[in-house]
Structure 1
Amino acid sequence: MTIQGVHHVQITIPRGAEEQGRWFYCTVLGLPEIEKPASLKGRGGFWLQVGDRQVHVGTEDGFDRTTTKSHIAYQVTDLAGWRQKLEANGIQILDSVAIPGFDRFEFRDPFGNRVEFIQPLS
């Protein structure tokens, strides 16, 4: 009996914000949307493919996402290029505490969710 890995992660955005969410996650970050099962489509939100894992973007009201340290960390290439792209789209970059062997930064998505981009040092 073992835990074999992470299947998916869920984040939330406000109800009715799917169009803005797709713009940020699919257009700005370039993550492909994948089909949700028919039984879950009525709940709102959308799903994304990230490498061999999934990120489920659900909808939820009455929650201040800016008050939590909870986050998702995406391992990326060209961290400097990502910083430029995000800043060009009006995203404020937040410095992170150093982790040996990695370069990284954080930001909040348009809904307040904390996001980290991390790249191993060569």
Structure 2
Amino acid sequence: MIHHVLLACPPGSEAASRAFYVGLLGMAEKPKPPALAARGGCWFTGYGAELHLGVSDDFRPARKAHVALLRPDLDGLAARLTAAGHPVDWGGEDELPGMRRFHTEDPHGNRLEFVAPR
């Protein structure tokens, strides 16, 4: 069982991270321990996953590597992301047997995948 996944983000991007992960994805922000809070970044939890956004001074987005989050509301989520200006790229019907999926990017350019059983 995985405890959490860390994605990098640029310095000063916490507000954009919160708007995306809480506002669009519906995750909850989890307070960072005081010893780690001074480093910046944000932690989020929801839908059985915990994501940590960690500040990287030489930030480069993960364009290929990604986290896949299981979501029951793919169509609604895709509509919210599209309306907010985040492109959604649906996978083909035969790419992942038994699953529907799409990819998008967080506000920092990190690739994300969302999946749901057919």
Same fold by TM-score, threshold 0.5 exceeded?
yes
Aligned partner of 1:18 in structure 2 is: 14
After TM superposition, the score normalised by the length of structure 1 is 0.88
Aligned CA RMSD, in angstroms, stands at 1.4
| Distance in 1 between residues matched to 2:101 and 2:48, nearest whole Å | 21
| Residue 54 (str. 1) matches residue 50 (str. 2) | yes
Aligned partner of 2:105 in structure 1 is: 108
Count of equivalent residues = 116
Q: Identity, % of aligned pairs?
A: 38
After TM superposition, the score normalised by the length of structure 2 is 0.91
| Residue 82 (str. 1) matches residue 77 (str. 2) | yes
Q: Tell me, which stretches of 5 or more residues in structure 2 are unaligned?
A: none
Q: Tell me, which stretches of 5 or more residues in structure 1 are unaligned?
A: none
Q: 1:72 aligns with which of 63, 67, 74?
A: 67
Q: Give the match's secondary structure for 1:12.
A: strand
Runs (4+) of structure 1 exceeding 6 A deviation are none
